[in-house]
Amino acid sequence: MSIVFDSAEVLRALSGGVLIGLAAVLLLVGSGRIAGISGHFSALLQGQGGISLWFLAGLFASPWLVRLFTPLTLGEALTDARWLPLLGAGLLVGMGTQLGSGCTSGHGVCGLANLSLRSLVAVLVFMSVAILVVALGGGLSA
Amino acid sequence: MSLFALLAGLLFGAGLLLSGMTDPARVRAFLDITGAWNPSLAFVMGGAVLTALPVFLHTRRFATTPAARTLRDLAAKPVDRALLLGAALFGVGWGLSGLCPGPALVVAASGNLQALLFVAALALGSVLSRRLLAPRIR
């Protein structure tokens, strides 16, 4: 193994993380809700609007807002993805986050900030499994 | 209330875009600890949790708002089979694609066809799981 370390990338990661943390605080204090993306997405699929709709509308508008200030480079890695594995991975993410009541935001950010044991366990499980999948060479590219 | 949620969504998405979480190759490089490991994305979750933690804990301990009740209820929920199996399934999909729900929605919103397909599959998986899987596992 080797370690790739880029201090500019680390600074962007940290700044982005702080923004995400502030967003979680804003949604909790302003709207009384947890900033878990999969939960709000699921609520929307069940026809519930309200806070979930507004929160996801903001998320959807964010690339357009960010584009006003800086050029965006997004998801190039997806362009050579094979379709069937792409759909399979999406299906697994949808099933898993619904069954496990949360994703990287709900368990990973809000749950850990709430010192929830359940969220810590969820994070350890999905991180370990994802690391294992990558180590075993699983991926979407041809 | 709605305005706060809209702003929170914008801020959340901007954070994801700035952080590098919307680049699946970078996410997979972060997960690739046995290969050419790029640890930078650990600072996303680290920065987010450390920013949110003081407010979350203060709210949970001292507030009497619905938000405080939500936090207390969530922290008291048990670790069960649905959580473990769900997190494992999510981990497989995340490892394969490098996309979790937030970044997937942001990249899809930017007009990327592959991400739109991924989100459609995510929606289907969520509905199937709620209707078929969850009632059998709890």
**A19 within some domain:** yes
Q: Which helix (H) or strand (E) holds B37?
A: strand B36-37
CA terminus-to-terminus distance, chain B: 34
Evaluate whether residue A45 is within a structural domain.
Answer: yes
Residue A141 in domain? no
Residue A142 CB: number of other CB atoms within 10 A? 7
Which B residues in the span 60-119 are in contact with A, Cβ-Cβ below 8 Å?
60, 65-67, 70-71, 74-75, 77-79, 82-102, 104-107, 109-110, 112, 114-115, 117-119
Percent pLDDT > 90 in chain A is 76
Provide the domain limits for residue A73: 7-135
Cβ-Cβ contacts under 8 Å between A and B: the total is: 506
By C-alpha distance, the chain A residue nearest B135 is: A99
In Å, how far is A89's CA from the nearest CA of chain B?
A: 4
Which element (helix H / strand E) includes B77? none
* A142 occurs within a structural domain: no
Of residues A124 and A84, more confidently modeled: A124
- A98 falls within a domain: yes
Four-residue CA torsion sign, A9, A14, A17, A19 = negative
Q: Which amino acid is at A12?
A: R
Contact B100 A51 (CB under 8 A): no
Residues 11-70 of A with CB under 8 A from B: 12-35, 37-38, 41-42, 45-46, 50-52, 54-66
Cα gap A108→A102, rounded to integer Å: 8
A-facing residues of B in 15-44 (CB < 8 A) are 15-25, 28-29, 31-44
Burial label, B76 (beta-carbon count in 10 A; 0-12, 13-18, 19+): exposed
Q: Alpha-carbon distance B16 to A72, whole Å?
A: 12
pLDDT digits 0-9 by tens, B114-136: 999 999 999 999 999 999 988 88
In a domain, A102, yes or no: yes
pLDDT in tens, A81-112: 888 999 999 999 999 999 999 999 999 999 99
Chain B residue at shortest CA distance from A46: B127
pLDDT grade for B58, boundaries at 50, 70 and 90: very high
Contacts of A142 in chain B (CB under 8 A): none
Is pLDDT of A75 > 80? no
The tally of domains found in chain A comes to: 1
Domain assignment present for residue A118? The answer is yes
- pLDDT for residue B3 is more than 90: yes
Mean pLDDT for all residues in chain B: 95
Sign of CA dihedral A20, A105, B109, A60: negative
Q: Which residue shows structure tokens 């709709």? A: A53
Check residue A81 and report its DSSP letter: B
* pTM of the entire predicted model: 0.95
Domain annotation covers residue A59:
yes
